[in-house]
C-alpha cells in the first residue's frame, strides 16, 4: 500500500508540473561536466557528473546530476533566498546558497559566484580580482577560491575552468573542474 501511495504522489507531482505555466527561456545558460573533490588528510570525497546553470534576471537555477542523469541536487537562488533540494527530494532553505550546499555536502562548493565565473569575471557584489595566471591565462581570485580559465571557446568565453580552495581550519581542500559543453548568452 505505501508503494501505491508513493506512485500516486509522483503522478500528482508530474501532472502538476505539466499544468504549471511555462517558464521563460533563460537569459544565459551553461551546461557541461564537472568533477569535484574534497581532501582532508587521507580522506577524499569526490563526485562527478553533469551540470546546468540557468540565469533569469536575478534568479539562478543550478542542477547537478550523475553522468547518467540522476539528480544529485537542484539549487534555486534569488536575492536573499536559496533552496537546495537533493536527489532524495530533501530540501534546505536559507539566505545563502553556498552555506546550504556546504551543509548538504559537508564541504564548500562555490555556487554563489559560479554564474559570473562561467563568464570569466569575478562576482561584482563581492571583492575579487581578475589577474593573469603563471601560465598567462586568466585567473579569478575570489571568496578564497582560485579560478583558472585554461581554455576558452571561439567566442572567448571560458570552456575549461579549474577552481581550487586550500584547506582551512576544519575545512577540507576542495577542487572543482568544469568543462562547459554548451552556453547561451547575449
- Helix or strand or coil: residue 143? coil
Model pLDDT, residue 87: 74
Would 2 be classed as within a structural domain?
no
Q: What whole-number distance in Å separates Cα of residue 179 and Cα of residue 117? A: 13
Mean pLDDT of the 44-72 span: 93
pLDDT, residue 18, reads: 44
Looking at the domain assignment, is residue 19 inside a domain? Answer: no
* Mean pLDDT of all residues belonging to the chain: 83
CA 146, CA 159: separation in Å to the nearest integer? 16
Going through 87-172 in order, the beta strands assigned E by DSSP cover 91-94, 128-132, 138-142, 145-152, 158-165
| pLDDT tens, position by position, 115-153 | 999 999 999 888 888 888 777 778 999 988 999 999 998
Domain count, the chain: 1
| 121-126: long-range contacts, CB 8 A cutoff, minimum separation 24 | none
What CATH number does residue 133 fall under? 2.50.20.10
Residue 9: the pLDDT is 33
Q: What is the mean pLDDT of residues 36-64?
A: 92
Q: Rounded to 5, what percent of the chain is helix, strand, coil?
A: 15, 50, 35
* Domain assignment present for 14: no
pLDDT single digits (tens) 77-96: 999 999 998 877 678 999 98
Amino acid at each position: 500500500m505505501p508503494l501505491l501511495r508513493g506512485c500516486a504522489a509522483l503522478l500528482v507531482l508530474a501532472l502538476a508540473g505539466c499544468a504549471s505555466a511555462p517558464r521563460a527561456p533563460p537569459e544565459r545558460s551553461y551546461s557541461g561536466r564537472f568533477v569535484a573533490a574534497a581532501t582532508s588528510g587521507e580522506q577524499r570525497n569526490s563526485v562527478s557528473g553533469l551540470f546546468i546553470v540557468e540565469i533569469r534576471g536575478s534568479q539562478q537555477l543550478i542542477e547537478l546530476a550523475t553522468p547518467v542523469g540522476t539528480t544529485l541536487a537542484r539549487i534555486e537562488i534569488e536575492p536573499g533566498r536559496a533552496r537546495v533540494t537533493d536527489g532524495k527530494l530533501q530540501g534546505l532553505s536559507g539566505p545563502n546558497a553556498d552555506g546550504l550546499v556546504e551543509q548538504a555536502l559537508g564541504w564548500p562548493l562555490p555556487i554563489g559566484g559560479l554564474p559570473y565565473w562561467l563568464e570569466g569575471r569575478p562576482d561584482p557584489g563581492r571583492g575579487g580580482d581578475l589577474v593573469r595566471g603563471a601560465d598567462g591565462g586568466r585567473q579569478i581570485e575570489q571568496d578564497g577560491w582560485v579560478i583558472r580559465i585554461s581554455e576558452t571557446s571561439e567566442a572567448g568565453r571560458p570552456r575549461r575552468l579549474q577552481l581550487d580552495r586550500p584547506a582551512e581550519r576544519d575545512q577540507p581542500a576542495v577542487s572543482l573542474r568544469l568543462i562547459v559543453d554548451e552556453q547561451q548568452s547575449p
